[in-house]
Each structure stands twice: as C-alpha cells, then as structure tokens.
Amino acid sequence: MKAKRRAVTAVPRSPDRNAPPTRRTTRRPPAGGIAPAGPLVRESGRTPAPTRLTLESVDLSVDLGRGLVLPNPILVASGTFGYGVEYGDVVEVDRLGAICCKGTTLKPRIGNPTPRVTETPAGMLNSIGLQNPGVDAVIEKYAGVWTSWKTPVLVNVAGESVHDYVEVARRLDGVPGVAGIELNISCPNVGAGGLQFAIDAGAAAEVTAAVRRATDLPLLVKLSPNVADIRPIARAIADAGADALTAINTLSGIAVAPGRRKPLLGNIYGGLSGPAVKPVALRIVYEAAQVVRIPVVAIGGVTELADVLDFLAVGAVAVQVGTAIFADPTLPVRLVDQLAAECAERGLTSYRELIGTALPRKAERPSSKGVEYRP
Ligand SMILES: Cc1cc2nc3c(=O)[nH]c(=O)nc-3n(C[C@H](O)[C@H](O)[C@H](O)COP(=O)(O)O)c2cc1C
C-alpha cells in the first residue's frame, strides 16, 4: 500500500538529526529524482513557488524474496504487537509494512513465572517465555482476520527441537493469511543440552535447512546478538536457504530483586530491548549485511526516524519497531509517513537510495568478508 497522498510544501525541517544540510540556494533536480515544480527559495527577487513533491511519488516497497514484497519497510516486531488484531482500534494496521506476530510454538505454552518484565535504563528486560496458544489455535483464531488485511503477516515460529520448527512450518504452509515465517532461533535445543540454535552456525543452519524443506513460504531467520561473531552464523543461515535475515533478538540480561537476595525475574534471565540495544543491533546489521546476499531487516531500539535511517545506512532494507510500541502504538505508521517525507524532501523517488550508505565501499576498501546486499 502506498503512503497517503500529501503534498510537501517548501522544505520541511528534517526529523533526521544526521541528515546532510538541505541545499537552500538553488534547486538541482537529482538524477532520477522528482522534477521540481518551482524554485525552493527566492532567486532574482521572485517570490518562490511552493514545491509540490508528493509522498505518493516515493517508492517505499521492499522485496524480501520468494514473492514477499512489502508495501513499505516499517514492520512491527514479534512479541510487541500481539497478533495484530489487538491493535485494530488504535493503529491503521493496513499501513504497516508487515506484522511479525507473537512467537508461536507447536503446543500451547503458559510462559514463564512472574515477574516477567522490568524497566531498565533506556530499555526493558522481558522473560515472557513464549506464552502462546499453539500453532493450531493461532491459525484458527487469527489467520481468517489476516486474510482481510493488505499488510502481510509473518508468523514468528519458536521451538525446542528441529522437529518442532518443522512441524509448525508445515502447518502454516499454504494457510491463507500467512505471508511468511520468521524463525526465532534464540531458543534452547533441548536435544542438544539446551544450546540455543542461534549461537551455533551448525545448529542454526540445520534448523533453517529443515524448515526450508518443509515450506515454500518466505523464510526470515532472526539472529541473536548473544554471540562473539555473527558473520559465520549469518552466512550459514543464508546458505541453508533463508530468504532474509532479521536482526536482532534481545540481549541476555538479569536484574536484581528489591532486598538483593535473588534475581528479580521469575525466570532469572530476561531479554534486554529498547534504545539501549541499538548500537549492538547496528553493529550486527553492519556485519551481517556485508557477508550475505539476502536482505537484512533490522530490529533494536527504534524510536524515531533517525534510527530507521541509521539502520538503512548500515545495510538494512527494512526495520522493525518493537519495545517503542508499548509507549506509542501509532509510532510505526508515523515512521512510514516520515520516511516518505524524508525521501521527498531529499528528492529521492525511492528510499532504497538510503540503504548501505555507511557500509565500506568495496572499491575503496576491498572487503574479504563478502558482498554487500544492495537491492
Ligand atoms: C515483550 C517482548 C516479547 C518478545 N517476544 C518475542 C518473540 O516471541 N519472538 C521473537 O522473535 N522476538 C521477541 N521479542 C524480541 C523483539 O521482537 C525484538 O527483536 C527486540 O525486542 C529488539 O527490538 P526493540 O528494541 O525494538 O524492542 C520480544 C520482545 C519483547 C520486548
């Protein structure tokens, strides 16, 4: 779906604090950009005519592979937007790029003991424990509603074994309303001593390849930041047949209970999210984007347009908004409008020109790490 038609008059103040200064003395139509309707500023004493760059002229669509083309690159992150239906009254869900629904497992899960969340400086810790009604109930209850939405819904899948993941994928395969799968592999592999799939290249590749064989649905695989080097893992997942990577899941952490006699969370460990994790997410996206040829979707601490632009600059083709939704569920849709306005203001017909601008240029600094993804 395209952004709402709205004319940008003159030069709006950019909400991007890192934006290059806007040229104010002359107008030079950018290559492939939007044709100017009049001078931006007074030249030779004439009154300036207002610029008429429409947001509709900006192409925000993004191709994540295997036929999954999103209307725009602003998604909502798993676990922070329920199954989408919960937000129908407050959010124009049809204007989102995609919805990653809550983590879904083969069998219903009651989740972890309470307390499950606590606030941290610039973020939060959660240990929800994948509470969900199980894949069959999710399909029965929500897939029908999803079919009526323009916005693609990606089902976030979790499991305790390769078999779990495969079985959930098999049940989702071909279900109307399910546009794709996002694999949450930050889960313990019970048969392998509880080692998380996401922290081992071999295990991550094994589960990715097995799910790939089980379904033709577009397959996104979500990276964990809790590793020393993301590059071999990103490569292994791409080689195993993922259509796209998403990065990052939460960072492992704990908090201490009042009285200081035990950890605060009922599960002891929780996942850190919010603005505090953004630099880590930027680093992981920057590194992953240089070693794979599949698209990378960024997640981690997005609260404003500048964050979106930062993630695009380090090679992400799209961005998910997570924790910030708890404070303002309307933020993702506003970011869609702001991104379109930013592009129109810069004279860009497509946001894709913003992708990868902060990655090393191969010509200047040949990289042994691989090839940047540039759509
Ligand atoms: C309460 C909560 C629940 C989450 N549940 C899931 C989940 O079920 N599956 C998953 O892959 N990620 C889950 N996440 C991780 C988010 O999708 C996201 O990767 C992470 O929070 C970083 O983004 P943010 O800083 O914008 O929140 C959850 C995060 C939060 C805060």
Which string of DSSP letters, residue by residue, matches 64-101? -STT-EESSSEEE-TTSSTTSGGGTTTS-GGGSSEEEP
Please choose from 101, 249, 269 the residue to mutate so as to test ligand 1's pocket, defined by most ligand atoms within 8 A of CB: 249
At 281 the three-state DSSP class reads helix
The pLDDT assigned to 32 comes to: 31
Nearest residue by C-alpha to atom 31 in ligand 1: 323
Residue 66 CA to ligand 1 center (angstroms) comes to 25
CA-250 nearest atom, ligand 1: 20
Q: Is the CB of 335 under 6 A from ligand 1?
A: no
Do the beta carbons of residue 373 and residue 315 sit within 8 Å?
yes
Q: Is the CB of 303 under 6 A from ligand 1?
A: no
100 is catalytic: no
CA dist., res. 374 & res. 353, Å (int) = 9
Do the beta carbons of residue 235 and residue 292 sit within 8 Å?
yes
CA dist., res. 164 & res. 311, Å (int) = 32
CA-184 nearest atom, ligand 1: 11
Question: Which token pair is 142?
Answer: 């929500």
Residue 374 CA to ligand 1 center (angstroms) comes to 26
Nearest residue by C-alpha to atom 11 in ligand 1: 184
**Within 10 A of 65 (CB to CB), how many other CB atoms are there?**
15
Instruction: Kindly report the pTM of this predicted structure.
Output: 0.86
The pLDDT assigned to 87 comes to: 95
CA dist., res. 21 & res. 62, Å (int) = 27
Q: Is the CB of 249 under 6 A from ligand 1?
A: yes
CA dist., res. 226 & res. 150, Å (int) = 35
Query: φ and ψ at 219, to 5 degrees?
Result: -120, 115
- Flag residues of the chain having pLDDT under 50: 1-13, 21-45, 47-50, 52, 366-375
289 burial via Cβ count (<10 Å: 0-12, 13-18, 19+): buried
Q: Is the CB of 273 under 6 A from ligand 1?
A: yes
Nearest residue by C-alpha to atom 6 in ligand 1: 79
**What distance lies between CA 75 and its chain's CA centroid?**
6
What are the helix (H) ranges across the chain? 135-138, 144-147, 162-172, 201-214, 231-239, 278-289, 305-313, 324-327, 331-346
Q: Is the CB of 302 under 6 A from ligand 1?
A: yes
Residue 197 CA to ligand 1 center (angstroms) comes to 17
**Contacting residues for 245 by C-beta, under 8 A, at least 6 apart:** 220, 221, 222, 223, 234, 237, 238, 288, 292, 294, 295, 296, 297
CA-281 nearest atom, ligand 1: 22
The helix/strand count (H/E) of the chain reads as: 9, 18
CA-158 nearest atom, ligand 1: 9
Strand partners, 222: 184, 246
Q: Is the CB of 103 under 6 A from ligand 1?
A: yes
CA-248 nearest atom, ligand 1: 19
Residue 126 CA to ligand 1 center (angstroms) comes to 9
CA atoms within 13 A on the CB side of 52: 3
**What distance lies between CA 85 and its chain's CA centroid?**
19
CA dist., res. 190 & res. 196, Å (int) = 9
Quote the radius of gyration of the chain (alpha carbons, Å). 21
The pLDDT assigned to 56 comes to: 80
